[in-house]
């Protein structure tokens, strides 16, 4: 079974990268692609890596506080919006998608290779397909594994 990588460069648009991540997550759940479709976000700067995680934690906090005072939840959501607005200016965001289909699933793999780059948040991110055996494959494979 060979990997195929799709690389998407979202530039500094964190919002589109998050939309793409959410769409991939929905597909993974809907089509049961747990091990067959994996993705990782790569941010160019260390600060960019820390802030979106903070924004994600802050986004989860109001859900837990809904039973508490509504004013606190509103206050937290304003902080989340402010941090999300600040995060796009931090650096470049790349999305690496790894497709891992077995040899008898060639048609399914080809359908996903056609579908993902043609969908809305992915179209404008200059998609690149790197297949097993191409020159850049080993480099991208190491990069994907290093993102942990």
Q: Are residues 61 and 132 in the same domain?
A: no
7 in the same domain as 22: yes
Q: Is 107 exposed, middle or buried (0-12, 13-18, 19+ CB in 10 A)?
A: exposed
Based on the number of CB atoms within 10 Å of its own CB, is 14 exposed (0-12), middle (13-18) or buried (19 or more)? buried
Whether the predicted model's global pTM rises above the 0.85 cut = no
User: Quick one: 97 and 111 in the same domain?
Assistant: yes
Phi/psi of residue 62, each to 5°? -60, -30
- Give me the domain span that covers residue 67: 52-87
Residues 110-125 have pLDDT tens digits of 999 999 999 999 999 9
Average pLDDT over residues 92-116: 95
Domain count, the chain: 2
Judgement on whether residues 72 and 133 belong to the same structural domain of the protein: no
Q: Do 140 and 108 share a structural domain?
A: yes
């Amino acid at each position: 079974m060979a990997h195929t990588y799709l690389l998407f460069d979202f530039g500094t648009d964190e919002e589109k990268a998050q939309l793409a991540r959410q769409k991939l997550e929905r597909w993974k759940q809907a089509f049961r692609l747990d091990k067959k479709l994996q993705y990782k976000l790569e941010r160019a700067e260390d600060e960019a890596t820390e802030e979106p995680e903070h924004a994600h934690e802050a986004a989860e906090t109001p859900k837990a506080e809904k039973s508490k005072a509504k004013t606190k939840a509103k206050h937290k959501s304003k902080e989340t919006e402010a941090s999300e607005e600040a995060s796009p200016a931090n650096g470049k965001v790349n999305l690496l998608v790894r497709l891992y289909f077995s040899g008898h699933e060639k048609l399914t793999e080809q359908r996903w290779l056609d579908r993902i780059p043609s969908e809305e948040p992915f179209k404008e991110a200059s998609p690149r397909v790197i297949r097993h055996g191409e020159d850049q494959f080993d480099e991208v494979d190491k990069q994907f594994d290093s993102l942990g």
